Amino acid sequence: MRPTFHLKPLVIAAAALSIASVSHAAGLDRSGQDITAFLQDGLYAEAVYTYIDADVSGYDSANNVPNSNGYVQGNKIGDIAESYDFFRYGVKADINDTFSVGILYDEPFGAAADYSGDNNFVAKGDLNSSITKLTGGKFNGATVGTEIARLTGIAKDTTLTPQQRAAAAAGATNLSTAVGIARAEAGTAGEGTNVEVRSENITAILGAKFGANKEFQVYGGPVAQRLQADVKLRGLAYGPASGYTAHVTPDQDYGWLAGVSYSKPEIALKAALTYRSEIDHNAKISESYPIVGIGAVGRLPADATPAQIAAAAASGNRNSVFEVTTPQSVNFDFQTGINKTTLATAKVRWVPWSDFAIVPPLYNDVSKGSYGPDGLALVGYDDDQWQVELGMAKRLSPALALSGTVGWDSGAGDPTTSLGPVDGYYSAGLGAKYNLNENWAVSAGGKYLWFGDAKGQLPTKKIVGDFQDNDGYILGVKLSYQAKQNFN
């Protein structure tokens, strides 16, 4: 006969694990969208603070020619991953022995990257040097104009073949683009590429238990999500997009959650499968694309009026509304007693990041001329994310428990976006919980991450950076309250 462990002596051990379960994951995933607060017994509340510090560094590409995708190791890129923190809150109560309600708050998706130093992700103000780099060393600020004029003349020479005229026109266009890129870069001289994405979720959950011993539970509810973002692309690495800026105004929209759980208290077994829906945001976005305005001014006649020049320059700015959809996800949470003081756990998470894209209207419209009717997305991923974490917790005394975890994240593909150049990770974590009294407890934990190497890639498929041998760590602290509820 299988031994009976009972859940009560193991509760302290289970809680020691949850503080170390947060992670720096694939795509924009941050909190892991944990719902275990709702799965606790009785009346339960928690407040969790998490701090993440990652070190992501590498090398830029010495190849700055916009229409050449080959990677050549260039200058050192210092740590681009900004440290950041977030909170998670949860409260859950039983209405009776069948129904439970809960409210959860977390910050599920985010990004924080900032480039600095002497590399191609930081804008320089030297037009001459930039033109030399953009033309592969063939021309500089003093000679490029003469070459553009020469090629333009060839393109108009009717004594030449159509192929010769077309090749000359393409050459003149490429050189004119290089000049436009250099001017756009100079307009943001000294600024580095920067991205910040933040989100907030509030989830309301209603659960209903059923079965002979109330061992099954179905649960679900609405999710309110707030999303905002700021992106600055700087330096020669971004080619024509150098100087691009986007601000996404905070937007709130709604989705839903649904799941099912099973428990067997006599062996401390709990299992839960949770699905979260996509959430569609129709957000206001302000974009600035300097090369668009520079090109429009350059096409004006010599006698253009100041009003015409101002209107042409303004064509590089646009305020509009666009749709961005945060992804659906599936979480599986499992725990079972090994003996009277030891608990084993497993977490599995799936997020289809390959379906996710950020497609700002102006950025996308500009790219349609060169990359087809669908244009390009600013951010996209090739693969879906799989995340697995295994843990063990040990109750050392009635008040103290320790835990350990190991984890793996598949990443969302390599090469990946230069705004988050990490391809998954391996992790190891430790946690502890101490019961202050019968109801109150404090937990603390940490996790060390070994990031997967990744190439930084533009939406055009040009490799602009190589990021290897990177790591990071996570620290967290939690205050929790739990009390029995009797309905007899």
Tens digits of residue pLDDT in 113-141: 899 999 999 999 889 999 999 998 898 88
Q: Is residue 129 one of the residues assigned to a domain?
A: no
- Provide the greatest CA pair distance for the chain: 100
371 φ, ψ to 5°? -125, 30
Query: Could you give the number of structural domains in the chain?
Result: 1
* pLDDT computed for residue 256 by the predictor: 98
**What is the total residue count of the chain?**
488
Q: Note whether 472 and 84 are within 8 A (CB).
A: no
Among 376, 244, 335, residue whose Cα is nearest residue 21 = 335
pLDDT per residue as tens digits for the range 149-159: 998 899 888 88
Give the mean pLDDT of 410-429: 89
In whole angstroms, give the CA distance from residue 126 to residue 147. 20
Instruction: Determine how many CB atoms are found less than 10 A away from the CB of residue 372.
Output: 9
pLDDT of residue 238: 93
Judge whether residue 26 has pLDDT over 90: no
Residue 11 has pLDDT above 80, yes or no: no
In a domain, 349, yes or no: yes
Backbone angles phi, psi at 27, to 5 degrees: 60, -130
165 assigned to some structural domain: no
In the three-class reduction of DSSP (H, G, I as helix; E, B as strand; rest coil), residue 166 is classed as: helix
- Mean pLDDT, the chain, rounded, equals 89
Band (pLDDT 50/70/90 cuts) for residue 488 is: low
pLDDT band with cut points at 50, 70 and 90 for residue 24? low
CATH of residue 311's domain is 2.40.160.60
The H or E element containing residue 164 is helix 162-186
pTM (2 d.p.): 0.90
Rounded mean pLDDT, 459-474: 92
Both ends of the chain: CA-CA distance in Å? 31
pLDDT of residue 19: 52
Task: Provide mean pLDDT across the span 89-96.
Answer: 95
For residues 428 and 382, is the Cβ–Cβ distance under 8 A? no
154 located within any domain:
no
- Residue 145's pLDDT is 87
Q: Which of 165, 188, 177 is nearest to 135 (CA)?
A: 177
Mean pLDDT, residues 450-472 taken together: 92
Does the pLDDT of residue 22 top 50, yes or no? no
Question: Tokens at residue 245, please?
Answer: 């800026």
Extended beta strands in 265-378, E state? 269-276, 279-288, 317-326, 329-339, 342-351, 357-358
Count Cβ neighbours within 10 Å for each residue of 200-228 and write b for 16 or more, e otherwise: bbebebebebeeeeeeebebbbebebebb
Task: Output the six-digit token pair for 299.
Answer: 């096409």
With respect to residue 130, please indicate whether it lies within any of the assigned structural domains.
Answer: no
pLDDT tens by residue, 152-193: 899 888 888 989 889 988 888 888 888 989 999 999 999 999
- Whole-number pLDDT of residue 157: 85
Domain assignment present for residue 168? The answer is no
Confidence (pLDDT) at 412: 86
For residue 146, is it within any domain? no
Q: What is the mean pLDDT of residues 194-222?
A: 95
Q: What ranges make up the beta strands (E) of 213-268?
A: 216-232, 245-264
Contact 289, 296 (CB under 8 A): no
Residue 361 falls inside a structural domain = yes
Mean pLDDT confidence for 374-398: 91
Please write the tens of the pLDDT for every residue from 268-315: 899 999 999 999 999 999 999 999 988 888 887 888 888 888 888 888
In sequence order, the β-bridge partners of residue 477 are 49, 444
Residue 262 — φ and ψ, nearest 5°?
-140, 140
- Host domain of residue 230: 8-123+187-483
